[in-house]
Structure 1
Amino acid sequence: MDFQAFLRELESHALPAAEFNHRAHLQAAWAYRSRYPAREAAARCAHTLSRYAMAHGAAEKYHHTLTMALLAIMYSRLDATPAQQASWDDFVAANPDLLCGTQALIAQHYSEQKLQEHDARRGFVAPDRAPLPMSCLLH
């Protein structure tokens, strides 16, 4: 499925929940970034993921701080290597830690205690360990 069709299914909530795993989350983030500037892509992606979770009866699974942290990391890498915006496969090959090492990446920035705070799930909470690469989301 091409990425435009994938985003249409995701946005319309037609994508089966069983097919929406971690890799699909990252594909959605990449697909939005390939179409929009980072700030707009992040807003659209977060909105879509939140609405998708609600539509599938899993609103409690959506965690806004985790979403925005991963988007900041992903989008800063895409900004550093713009050629990866042209190919999902190239992006995944260059960033395997986003697929398999997400917890370690997030742990560089957030303590588990900080992520468990109620406010972190509902809105963005600043990291308590190390700053995120947020410059890509500021313009």
Structure 2
Amino acid sequence: MNPPKHHWDLDDSRFIEAFETGSLSPSLFNHEAHLRLAYIYLKNFGEELAIEKCCNGICEFDQLHGDGTKFHKTLTVASVKAVHHFMRKSKSATFDDFIVEFPRLKISFKQLLDQHYAFDLLNNAKAKSEYVAPDLIPFD
């Protein structure tokens, strides 16, 4: 079997397995794949455990496939919370339909976060290593 060229080439269970075992190619783990990971974990485990699994998993993935400096705690938690917010409004049964229903998650994610954070979230050292709650609009 040929290696996948896109995270869509893997069904949800194979995607999660590849991510959790570290066999998912880093080239496949783009922004959309991060959103998909959050969606699957939220669907299976609820918000609290999804946040924990995403944070631990992405941190480990970064250490395995990089130099361990890319993981951003607040960005990861905020991403899961944003996906969860839209999932509660969604009529979709699959991630494919969900991302079509809410394309802003994929194409204008930074603008979504800017509605919650007044400061430069991506370049804030404290926010990188620990969760910083929004200072504008809390996540519901």
Equivalenced residues, count: 131
Q: 1:43 aligns to what?
A: 52
Q: Check the 8 A contact 1:38/1:75 in 2, yes or no.
A: yes
Q: Which of residues 93, 105, 113 is equivalent to 1:106?
A: 113
What does the per-residue CA deviation read over 1:76-106, in whole Å, with 9 as the maximum and x for residues that have no partner? 221233x43x311111111100000011001
Contact preservation (8 Å) 1:32, 1:44 = yes
In structure 1, what is the equivalent of residue 94 of structure 2? 87
In structure 1, give the amino acid aligned to 2:48.
R
1:79, 1:46 → 2: CA distance?
21
Residue 36 (structure 2) pairs with residue 32 (structure 1): no
- Deviation, structure 1 residue 23: 0.8
**How far off its partner does 1:35 sit?**
1.3
Structure 2 gap segments, 5+ residues each: 1-9
Separation in structure 1 between the aligned mates of residue 50 and residue 121 of structure 2, nearest angstrom: 25
Which stretch has the larger CA shift, 122-131 or 94-103?
122-131
TM-score (norm 2): 0.86
Deviations 1:46-69 (A, max 9, x none): 211111111112421111101111
Identity %: 30
**Closer/same/farther in 2, CA of residues 80 and 18 from structure 1, 3 Å limit:** same
Is residue 13 of structure 1 aligned with residue 30 of structure 2? no
Contact 2:75–2:121 (8 Å) recurs in 1 = no
Instruction: Specify which structure has the higher proportion of helix.
Output: 1
Structure 2 CA distance for aligned equivalents of residues 92 and 58 of structure 1: 30
From the superposition, tell whether residues 128 and 115 of structure 1 become closer, same or farther in structure 2 (CA, over 3 Å): farther
Flag structure 1 segments of 5+ consecutive residues without an equivalent: 134-139
Q: Does 1:67 align with 2:60?
A: no
* Partners of 1:64 and 1:122 within 8 A in 2: yes
The question of whether the paired residues in 2 share the 8 Å contact of 1:114 and 1:128 is answered with no
